[in-house]
Structure 1
Amino acid sequence: MKIEEKTPQKMGVWNSMCYTVRTIWRADKGCILLSFYKNCTEEVYMSFFFILMLQMIYSYIENGKSFMGLLRFVTLFCMGHICIHLVSAWHAYYIRKKTPKVYAYIFNRVIDKAVRIELTKYEQPDFYDKFARALDECLTKAMDGLFSLAWATGCALSAVAAVFLIARVDPAMLVFSLPSIVASFLFSSRINKLQYELRLEETRDKRTAEYVKRVFYEKKYAGEIRLYNIRKVLLREYKESFDSRQELYARMYRQINFYKQVQDLVIFGLPILLTYIYVSVVLKTTGEAKIGLYVATLGSVDYFAWRVKTAIKNYMEAGKNCMYMNNLQEFLEMDEETMENGSRAVQGELGDIELDHVSFRYTGSEKPVIRDLSLHIRKGERIALVGENGAGKTTLVKLLMGLYPVQQGKISVGGVDIREYNKRDYQKHFGTVFQDLQIFSLPLSHNVLMKEPETEEERDLVTESLRKAQFGDVLDKLPDGIDSMVTKEFEDSGFICSGGQAQKIAIARVFAKNPDIVILDEPSSALDPIAEFNMYNNMLEASEGRTVFFISHRLSSARIADRICFLEQGSIVESGTHDELMERNGKYARMFRLQAKNYKEREEACVYE
């Protein structure tokens, strides 16, 4: 049965801002409270400082009031200004201190979700766009959105205070401020929409450029880049992505700059011109009794227009930044409908395995990788999965481990449908070595235990597991033993392991975990035949009584299995022991003889040389 994926509903601007505030609130409440308090008190005070103080100075001078009274008034305002700046400095310190906490909260949510997303999504290109936007953008856009929203709120209150101070001189002057409000809303909305579209359109090209940069940076690509001309292809991809972004910027910023110029003209030029004309007419017709007060208030109209523009601009900026939180919401809700995670805990060890008419097809693929496959495996049985590339061997074991969803049919372990198990609890019972295994830039002990060893017993387990994986000779030569740093990513003294040594470390992980079911997906491809034979013998000896799957292109390794399953186009076409399959003289036998012939010819060539 094909499971339909739910498409998350996009949040509007207001909901996006609320989502952003809630997210930061859960990470650190102080960032929200202090940001709004700081911006609101600061902006409102600035209105009184710049407008009321100037009005009072003119009033004192025109009415001939005491100079000492004026001095006390100005001193009081200046002291208040100093206090506001002290609060602002404390806010800056607090935000610098707490921003990593907010980033860590969002980062942890994204990573926690990423490890629970269906593995099939990693096969889809658009997944990485969503992942990049959720992780890279939301880490900064959340705080940017908060700062813009807090500033917009403060500027709005500042504009209200300016309105009050202008109205106390002449309410008619407020009419000339209307163009500022209308123009700010109209033009800021259009400008921010264009900037948001620009950000979305450049995502793929930015990711392409980052990928090319990463390829030239990482060591694992260095050999191929130097031996082949692939660098020309990569540089062309980089140039095309760069040219595409340049063309996008040129097209979008032509529109953005046009709207900004018209916006400034309407917001500042028109209101100030009209206000000056109005004040000139008033003073001409009513005399000069309030000339000082009117002159002081002329600057207030300009200040009001500036605060309105800044408030709306920051509100739009907050909306634009918070709209990026749609990407976080979309990523965090990804596959919520398709993730099948039961609540049943695994009791004891995993038992017999039953695959009942299982089929699986990758998204976007027309042909299934696994076709109506049925198979019963007894607990403790050793199964070899063999066949040509693309036969479905790795996909089959990933279905068994719950890394891929069962689309059709059923997989039962111990008589229980694996979809009923709690996924994390279920997967703890597997020990796996994949062909594309990864080694981390961490100490050797961490790479084996996949966590930090906490006791001497765990450290001893690391050493024992490495020796079982035939890594003992290398371990004895490392000056820091199991505390040696793997790779030189962060330490010059780090140990760089070969492909075969990396596989031995990954195999040691299985020994250390002591799982119920062991899966070895081409773990010995970088080992020589003798090392491979010893590794398998050690693995089978350590896994006595446990179910073992091993996938290998070397059919000679399959001889030690209790049963060999030969897969072709997602189906098991032959099954039995090595001797039984050789006696049938089918596809397995033909492939085995062909490989044996190739090995023999290579040995003879080596002897001749």
Structure 2
Amino acid sequence: MRSIPSTQAGSEKQSAEMSVQQIFGRSVALVLRAAPRELINLLLLNLVLGAGPSIALYFGKVVIDEVIRLLTVNTTDDPLSILLNNQLLLTAIVITILLNIVVDSLQPIQTSIVAALRDRVKGYAQGQMIEKVATFDDIALFETPERLNLITLTKEKSLPKLQEITFKLLEIMISMLRFVPSVLLSVSIAWWIPLVLVVGFVPTMYFDVKHHRQSWRIEETQASLSRQMEIYAKVLTEDTYAKELRLFSLQSILLQRWRDRFEQIFQAMQQVRRQGAIQTMIWSLVSGVGAAIPYVYIILGVLGRRYTFGDLALFTGLILELRQSVFFLVFAFTGLYDASLGTRPFFELLDLQPQIVSGPIPEPLRLSASSTSGIQVKNLSFTYPGSDTPTLQHISLTIAPGEMIALVGENGAGKTTLAKLLCRLYDPTEGAILWNNHDYRDLDLNELRAKIAVVMQDYARFPATLRENVGWGDLLQQNSDRAIQTVLEEAGIAHLPQKLSHGLDTPLGKQLEEGIDLSGGQWQRISIARSLLRSQAELLVFDEPTAALDPKNEHELYQIFRTIAQGRITIVVSHRLALAKLADRIVVLEQGKILEIGTHTQLMANGQRYCEMFTRQASSYLET
């Protein structure tokens, strides 16, 4: 007997153990993959922008020294003649001016490339996240708080942090290109000057890294509160809840809940920020004192006639340039550390593996009337991820080819869960589902699902055209007006395109430009039409397919279901037992176990749970 695969648990454990160095390496690799051209262009550009200031300082020294020399040896009243006849001075002035012009003119180009780099990284990372979530084979990703928190952290924290990593790498690149020439020139003053400046920043870097680590721990622990804030914000701002929100005057309650959670997160972060700011400020003062030592040393050297005034200008500028480049390097590296911590959820999400794995058999065996075995559910048990209580326990059931089965029971009995397992949105925790004696897990997942048509209780209302809302049931027939019109007719909304401004190409959904909304019953019929378009389907699964319909339209669809179910295995989940009467057999579930199986007549004759439910429901209809 199989149990759920352990690949997912192993992946989560591996992600949890990722070091900052590993995360940093993956983050940098992602940036390199996302925007290699922009990074190369920035590197070449910053060779000029980074080294330019130090070179300009050197030639500025030459200008000052040469001007002072000429003033002491030349008494002519023609400054222009002096300038033009001194090749060294003229060359130094021209180079200094040209460097400043070039550096200033390259700034707009750098800004443009940086913007392109930011957008490239954002689009690449967001695309990877969307692809991962959208193509995750099972739906456990959306049904456990821990994984929902992971998605929230990825969207709200990791994606912005990946962009931040891009800018921090850029800052490090620029700072290094400023740092190296500054060091080489400052060593000419005294070998210890660069060392003093760098060592002075070490305590600041240490405490800044510590602060970022504490901040990120707070953000991780507050992910649940952040997701709750997002939920309350959605309820307060989206049209789905607008009417009842106002009719029941719930705004103040939900807004207060949002504010309470914001305040919890804010206060926790504020405490860490205060501690970090005080520690960093203290050690920044220490590094400032360290930077003052070389400055005083040079002034004393000029007063002692060891250095010229040009040397004073050069060395003063170099020390400031070196200190600034060290400052930027330190805080770029600590910012990079912080950003790397924030990208952990992104890589944890990418490393997640679904519990279900596509099998090797490329085409599923047929489930139609020509099949011999149909579907066999063998000793099936299922527990949702993150839960300790099984939803289904030791279910065994054989569904014959072409048979319609109705799953009935009270809320929480496990009906919809069994339907999800039959669609292979999950794999069983224990036991198996067989397809003509082949385990579901041995079949190719995409091919299997291509043979299943579903109408779920929480059916999708795609923000797309009417044609797409129906045509996405079978992409090969999306452009066939005839095929779409046929299934719309079968679903009882044949005249809907004629009532819409652009017919089949009318956008549905208020969030689209010129889009219109439909009634709940119309939307549900569209979902049924979408399912009907999948003509190659050999297994039909209907989960509360008539929930939004009135009794007249409900009866109409009962006949449609019975017609399209011919020759196919059909699973119907319904609270409305009038639909169950149409089934060949009825399976009564209670607390995750099969309580009764039989036809409507047999179960009514037994006088047990089904009979009680049907009688109670029938009497409520009579009373109305």
Does residue 275 of structure 1 match 2:294? Answer: yes
C-alpha contact (below 8 Å) 1:267/1:309 kept by paired residues: no
Q: Distance in 2 between matches of 1:39 and 1:194?
A: 34
Does residue 585 of structure 1 match 2:607? Answer: yes
C-alpha contact (below 8 Å) 2:471/2:477 kept by paired residues: no
Q: Distance in 2 between matches of 1:228 and 1:246?
A: 30
Give the alignment of 1:434-583 within 5 angstroms.
434-450=456-472, 457-491=479-513, 493-514=514-535, 515-583=537-605
Does residue 67 of structure 1 match 2:86? Answer: no
SS in structure 1 of the partner of residue 460 of structure 2: coil
Q: Which one-letter code corresponds to 1:572 in the other structure?
A: I
Q: Distance in 2 between matches of 1:262 and 1:415?
A: 73
SS in structure 1 of the partner of residue 65 of structure 2: helix
Deviation of 1:9 (Å): 4.0
Assess, with a 3 A threshold, how the Cα gap between structure 1 residues 300 and 95 changes in structure 2: closer, same or farther.
closer
The residue number in structure 1 matching 2:314 is: 296
Q: Distance in 2 between matches of 1:396 and 1:455?
A: 30
The residue number in structure 2 matching 1:381 is: 403
SS in structure 1 of the partner of residue 498 of structure 2: helix
After superposition, what is the alpha-carbon deviation per residue over 1:146-165, rounded to whole angstroms, capped at 9, x for unaligned? 22112213312322211111
Deviation of 1:172 (Å): 4.7
Deviation of 1:388 (Å): 0.9
Does residue 185 of structure 1 match 2:205? Answer: yes
Q: Is 162-171 or 35-44 further displaced after alignment?
A: 35-44
After superposition, what is the alpha-carbon deviation per residue over 1:398-430, rounded to whole angstroms, capped at 9, x for unaligned? 111111121101111122111112222221211
Assess, with a 3 A threshold, how the Cα gap between structure 1 residues 61 and 98 changes in structure 2: closer, same or farther.
closer
Which 5+ residue runs of structure 1 have no aligned equivalent?
603-609
SS in structure 2 of the partner of residue 47 of structure 1: helix
The residue number in structure 2 matching 1:607 is: none
Q: Which one-letter code corresponds to 2:210 in the other structure?
A: R
The residue number in structure 1 matching 2:337 is: 319
Q: 1:14 aligns with which of 7, 11, 21?
A: 21
Aligned length: 597
Q: Which one-letter code corresponds to 1:342 in the other structure?
A: G
Q: 2:281 aligns with which of 256, 261, 269?
A: 261
Q: Which one-letter code corresponds to 1:206 in the other structure?
A: S
Deviation of 1:226 (Å): 2.0
Assess, with a 3 A threshold, how the Cα gap between structure 1 residues 234 and 145 changes in structure 2: closer, same or farther.
same
C-alpha contact (below 8 Å) 1:10/1:326 kept by paired residues: no
Q: 1:127 aligns with which of 133, 147, 162?
A: 147
Q: 2:254 aligns with which of 212, 225, 234?
A: 234
The residue number in structure 2 matching 1:110 is: 129
SS in structure 2 of the partner of residue 374 of structure 1: strand
Q: Distance in 2 between matches of 1:159 and 1:98?
A: 23
Deviation of 1:229 (Å): 4.7
Which 5+ residue runs of structure 2 have no aligned equivalent?
72-81
C-alpha contact (below 8 Å) 1:11/1:323 kept by paired residues: no
Assess, with a 3 A threshold, how the Cα gap between structure 1 residues 591 and 218 changes in structure 2: closer, same or farther.
same
Deviation of 1:122 (Å): 1.9
Assess, with a 3 A threshold, how the Cα gap between structure 1 residues 451 and 323 changes in structure 2: closer, same or farther.
farther
Deviation of 1:142 (Å): 1.8
Q: Distance in 2 between matches of 1:81 and 1:299?
A: 15
Q: Is 163-172 or 406-415 further displaced after alignment?
A: 163-172
Q: Which one-letter code corresponds to 1:494 in the other structure?
A: G
Q: Which one-letter code corresponds to 1:534 in the other structure?
A: E
Assess, with a 3 A threshold, how the Cα gap between structure 1 residues 450 and 267 changes in structure 2: closer, same or farther.
farther
Q: Distance in 2 between matches of 1:169 and 1:258?
A: 34
Q: Which one-letter code corresponds to 2:340 in the other structure?
A: C
Assess, with a 3 A threshold, how the Cα gap between structure 1 residues 208 and 85 changes in structure 2: closer, same or farther.
farther
C-alpha contact (below 8 Å) 2:225/2:265 kept by paired residues: yes
Assess, with a 3 A threshold, how the Cα gap between structure 1 residues 597 and 3 changes in structure 2: closer, same or farther.
same
C-alpha contact (below 8 Å) 2:63/2:92 kept by paired residues: no
C-alpha contact (below 8 Å) 2:581/2:600 kept by paired residues: yes
Q: Is 177-186 or 140-149 further displaced after alignment?
A: 177-186
The residue number in structure 2 matching 1:56 is: 62
Q: Which one-letter code corresponds to 1:103 in the other structure?
A: K
Q: Which one-letter code corresponds to 2:363 in the other structure?
A: V
Q: Distance in 1 between matches of 2:174 and 2:152?
A: 32
The residue number in structure 2 matching 1:23 is: 30
Deviation of 1:535 (Å): 1.2
Assess, with a 3 A threshold, how the Cα gap between structure 1 residues 452 and 585 changes in structure 2: closer, same or farther.
closer
Q: Which one-letter code corresponds to 1:241 in the other structure?
A: R
Q: Which one-letter code corresponds to 1:70 in the other structure?
A: L
Q: Which one-letter code corresponds to 2:597 in the other structure?
A: S
C-alpha contact (below 8 Å) 2:382/2:392 kept by paired residues: yes
The residue number in structure 2 matching 1:605 is: none
Deviation of 1:198 (Å): 4.5
Q: Distance in 2 between matches of 1:100 and 1:176?
A: 39
C-alpha contact (below 8 Å) 1:384/1:561 kept by paired residues: yes
Task: Tell me the TM-score normalized by structure 1.
Answer: 0.91
C-alpha contact (below 8 Å) 1:486/1:494 kept by paired residues: yes
C-alpha contact (below 8 Å) 1:19/1:325 kept by paired residues: no
Does residue 89 of structure 1 match 2:93? Answer: no
After superposition, what is the alpha-carbon deviation per residue over 1:307-352, rounded to whole angstroms, capped at 9, x for unaligned? 101012112212222332221110011135x343223222453451
SS in structure 2 of the partner of residue 363 of structure 1: coil
Moved over 6 A (4+): 451-456
Q: Distance in 2 between matches of 1:578 and 1:175?
A: 89
Deviation of 1:552 (Å): 1.0
C-alpha contact (below 8 Å) 1:185/1:312 kept by paired residues: yes
Deviation of 1:463 (Å): 2.0
Q: Distance in 1 between matches of 2:126 and 2:248?
A: 38
Deviation of 1:584 (Å): 1.9
Q: Distance in 2 between matches of 1:455 and 1:527?
A: 27
Does residue 329 of structure 1 match 2:342? Answer: no
Q: Distance in 2 between matches of 1:72 and 1:98?
A: 37
The residue number in structure 1 matching 2:74 is: none
Q: 2:358 aligns with which of 332, 337, 341?
A: 341
Does residue 145 of structure 1 match 2:165? Answer: yes
Deviation of 1:454 (Å): 7.8
C-alpha contact (below 8 Å) 1:379/1:545 kept by paired residues: yes
Q: Which one-letter code corresponds to 2:515 in the other structure?
A: G
Assess, with a 3 A threshold, how the Cα gap between structure 1 residues 182 and 119 changes in structure 2: closer, same or farther.
same
The residue number in structure 1 matching 2:52 is: 45
Does residue 222 of structure 1 match 2:222? Answer: no
Q: Which one-letter code corresponds to 2:237 in the other structure?
A: Y
Q: What RMSD in Å do the two structures reach over aligned CA positions?
A: 2.5
Q: Distance in 2 between matches of 1:91 and 1:278?
A: 37
SS in structure 2 of the partner of residue 446 of structure 1: helix
C-alpha contact (below 8 Å) 1:41/1:154 kept by paired residues: no
Assess, with a 3 A threshold, how the Cα gap between structure 1 residues 195 and 366 changes in structure 2: closer, same or farther.
closer
C-alpha contact (below 8 Å) 1:369/1:392 kept by paired residues: yes
Deviation of 1:201 (Å): 4.3
Deviation of 1:83 (Å): 3.5
Q: Distance in 2 between matches of 1:276 and 1:87?
A: 31
C-alpha contact (below 8 Å) 1:267/1:305 kept by paired residues: no
SS in structure 2 of the partner of residue 148 of structure 1: helix
Deviation of 1:543 (Å): 3.4
Q: 1:168 aligns with which of 188, 192, 214?
A: 188
Q: Distance in 2 between matches of 1:37 and 1:13?
A: 29
Q: Is 93-102 or 380-389 further displaced after alignment?
A: 93-102
Q: Is 512-521 or 163-172 further displaced after alignment?
A: 163-172
C-alpha contact (below 8 Å) 2:207/2:276 kept by paired residues: no
After superposition, what is the alpha-carbon deviation per residue over 1:348-374, rounded to whole angstroms, capped at 9, x for unaligned? 534511100000112343431111011
SS in structure 2 of the partner of residue 419 of structure 1: helix
Aligned-pair identity (%): 25
Q: Which one-letter code corresponds to 2:142 in the other structure?
A: Y
C-alpha contact (below 8 Å) 2:433/2:440 kept by paired residues: yes
